[in-house]
Structure 1
Amino acid sequence: MLDHGFLTRAKVYFFDLDGCVYHGDQLSPGIIPLLGRLRQLGIDYAFLTNNSRLSAAEIGGRLAGMGLEVAPECILPVTDIAGRFIRDKYGAVTVKTIGSESLERGISAAGHRTVSWDEGKADIVVVGRDTAFHYDKLQQISSDILSGARLVATNPDIYHPGADGIKIPETGALLASIEAMTGTTAECIGKPEPYMFLYGMKLYDAAPDSCVMVGDNPDTDILGSARAGLKSVWITNGAPADSSVWKREPGQILSCPDVVLNNMEELYRLVGGF
């Protein structure tokens, strides 16, 4: 029998949002009592998301509209973290932001100079989920990259799940065209890369083995957890738990989740909920 004791001994839980905490504009059944149970156990929790369009405050407002009140400091979107990543690695630079106004504001707040996609030169082109992406943008930013600008992506997701299982195009779908045009590979900030996990652990002063990542995406949530050393819970949403989805990296072990569950209600029961 598998030992699930780590679920109640953890210091902090990190939850993905889309397809995990909510689906479309509806909270996942069981999420509110689950968070209440974690509070009873003295376990912190935060929301670690590859959402590159909304700030923590905006996501908090969306969650509140669904009936879940969350302090903005517990919401860690790549939207707000991207500027810090760039500053930590490259210092204060000039950035072209292909994405939302919130992403651009977050990058500017981190001390960078931001310019529009059709304005002058930039040291770095940051690509997020841009719902207004078009041919001229592709041509211009490809030219910028071929002229020496670095290509950085908020996240590699091709899509995220919407209501009724609809696939919503994500950053990775746009990124594919840019990489094809330029022959370059983007440097990614979000899951499964380690930066966001390390950022979250530092924020809560937590060691990897005291953290649990709960998510629905094996390619980002589970793979990223394995790379960063966290425990993980894969929420399948009723999909078959096919072991062929686990990623084997050269010289590394399989990035299998520690626990596989259908939904949040099952996780609630495992941590002592009824």
Structure 2
Amino acid sequence: MSPEQLTAARTLLTGVRSLMFDLDGCIWFGAQLAPGAAELVATLRAEGFGVAFLTNTSTHDSAYLADKLTRLGIPAGHEDVLSPIDVIGQHPLLLARPATFVIGSAYVKSAVSKVTAVTEDPEVAKVVVLARDTELDYNRLSDAMHVLNRGGSLLALNLDARVPVEGGRFLPGNGAFAAALTTASGVEAQAAGKPAPFFFHAAMERFGFDAASTVMVGDNLDSDIAGAIQTGIRSVQVGGEHFSAANPAPVADLELDGVAAILDVLIR
């Protein structure tokens, strides 16, 4: 980064005192921390910045994710992390506690069942909750489609089209399957996680952050950056990923090569 670029970046982040970090593709890649991530978080905390983690992971809750952060070298408690599963019961589509058809892991089904009645009967369900399911088959998609064709609603834990993992590879994300159901039924999915402002507001309330002094840091234009824009907070995109299903694509306030570069902007 040139001196001129550094000055511009510092100007963009003037007044920032709290940072919300995405996990996949930002803080970690699968089972590997991003270069410099542990040092970054430790330094920010030592300098008095608020640090929290806002993830679209649809297979685990905040306690599991905090444990993974700690194991990888970033000490964290469940109170430092928010995932869609943590706030699923607060989403407007589930406030009336409708019968719900769940596509997702056994853990996700258990979490939803603590909030509302879960049913396997597509003739009864009023809502489809969609989470990433590596064992998803055609019959389950067909049943979910039937719920939607009967007038049901579609609540996706996230709308990420793909998920970054080790080695520069990507896996199909929850948004890819939400798009399939939307194409087949005409029902647009609502998101429990990013980019929904609902999720960002829940996060800032949980972490005690103020919108004017908070920045969202992530790699995904359609979730991290779009959500920050819709919520009215600043955004930093890391990693140079320019994939977007939106046209035009969301544009971050600042782009950096990797998460470690934030140290140069805010600290050094």
Q: Is the structural similarity TM-score above 0.5?
A: yes
Q: Which residue of 1 aligns with 2:154?
A: 151
CA separation of 1:112/1:28 partners in 2, compared to 1, >3 Å: closer, same or farther? same
Measure how far apart 1:74 and its partner are: 0.9
Q: Which residue of 2 aligns with 1:219?
A: 222
Measure how far apart 1:8 and its partner are: 6.7
Measure how far apart 1:146 and its partner are: 1.2
Q: Which residue of 2 aligns with 1:93?
A: 98
Q: How many correspondences in the alignment?
A: 262
Whether contact under 8 Å (2:195, 2:224) holds in the other structure is yes
Give the counterpart of 1:4 among 5, 10, 30.
10
> Tell me, what secondary structure is at the counterpart of 1:2?
helix
Q: Which amino acid aligns with 2:116?
A: H
Q: Which amino acid aligns with 1:74?
A: D
Percent identical residues: 30
Whether contact under 8 Å (1:80, 1:107) holds in the other structure is no
Distance (Å, rounded) in 1 between the aligned partners of 2:57 and 2:40: 22
Alignment gaps of 5+ in structure 1: none
Q: Which amino acid aligns with 2:168?
A: G
CA separation of 1:255/1:137 partners in 2, compared to 1, >3 Å: closer, same or farther? closer
Measure how far apart 1:118 and its partner are: 4.6
- Matching of residues 60-71 of structure 1 within 5 Å: 60-71=66-77
Measure how far apart 1:68 and its partner are: 2.3
Give the counterpart of 1:138 among 134, 141, 162.
141
Measure how far apart 1:61 and its partner are: 2.5
Measure how far apart 1:203 and its partner are: 1.8
CA separation of 1:245/1:147 partners in 2, compared to 1, >3 Å: closer, same or farther? closer
Whether contact under 8 Å (2:161, 2:175) holds in the other structure is yes
Distance (Å, rounded) in 1 between the aligned partners of 2:109 and 2:53: 21
RMSD: 2.4
Alignment gaps of 5+ in structure 2: 1-6
Q: Which residue of 2 aligns with 1:197?
A: 200
Distance (Å, rounded) in 2 between the aligned partners of 1:217 and 1:255: 10
1:106 aligned onto 2:101 = no
Q: Which amino acid aligns with 2:33?
A: L
Distance (Å, rounded) in 2 between the aligned partners of 1:143 and 1:43: 48
CA separation of 1:119/1:147 partners in 2, compared to 1, >3 Å: closer, same or farther? closer
Distance (Å, rounded) in 2 between the aligned partners of 1:198 and 1:236: 25
CA separation of 1:114/1:47 partners in 2, compared to 1, >3 Å: closer, same or farther? same
> Tell me, what secondary structure is at the counterpart of 2:38?
helix
